[in-house]
Chains A and B, each alone.
Chain A
Amino acid sequence: DTAVSQTPKYLVTQMGNDKSIKCEQNLGHDTMYWYKQDSKKFLKIMFSYNNKELIINETVPNRFSPKSPDKAHLNLHINSLELGDSAVYFCASSRGTGSNEQFFGPGTRLTVL
């Protein structure tokens, strides 16, 4: 029944590696997002896709590449991981219209050693 799911929940990796985080929503929403939450709990939008098209791309290093194979999925691939990439990454989805409530996944805690 999970509305927005992310895998993995925890990811520990070495600097320089490449990793992916997957996100799926079963709400039928058209819009999906990736957010980064740092150790101080500040939440920043990274990307947003609407109907598989990129609509928001904040000033995120191009080591981060989102991919949306279909409306229900938005994956995040990160190349050449750096220490500063350690954070919790949240996926979210919304209808994109009206009140535009966002539904969040449980988060992926990425630790780069």
Chain B
Amino acid sequence: GEDVEQSLFLSVREGDSSVINCTYTDSSSTYLYWYKQEPGAGLQLLTYIFSNMDMKQDQRLTVLLNKKDKHLSLRIADTQTGDSAIYFCAESIGGTYKYIFGTGTRLKVLA
């Protein structure tokens, strides 16, 4: 299967942590990604993780990968109003050029 699912909405208060979750079904994924889309713009890569890793930290961002459960999460520490955007997880399928994007999570940060 090729479905990548995310919760559609998440609302947090400024300064709190945000956790955005993603589940995927294709076990042949080689890389998993998190992209951010601001209003009226294209997607920008935030971070990615190789499929043989469990965790990756990059400043305020922490990515956790549970390959057994096919679950990926993105934690944003000290969430700011500028973090309000749509966040997409994506997987690239090993041996192909194919990318599958998740349904997107709209993060709203309340001041």
The verdict on A101 contacting B97 (CB below 8 Å), with A43-B104, A107-B42 known, is: no
| CB within 8 Å: A-B pair count | 58
Which of A96, A101, A103 interacts with B33 by CB under 8 Å? A101
Given contacts A99-B31, A101-B33, contact A106 B97 (CB under 8 A): no
Sample of 23 A–B contacts (CB below 8 Å): A31-B97, A33-B99, A41-B103, A41-B104, A41-B106, A45-B99, A45-B100, A56-B97, A92-B43, A94-B97, A99-B31, A100-B31, A100-B97, A101-B33, A101-B45, A101-B48, A102-B43, A102-B45, A102-B99, A105-B42, A106-B40, A107-B41, A107-B42
Top 7 closest A-B pairs, CB basis? Answer: A104-B42, A43-B101, A104-B43, A41-B104, A101-B45, A100-B92, A106-B42
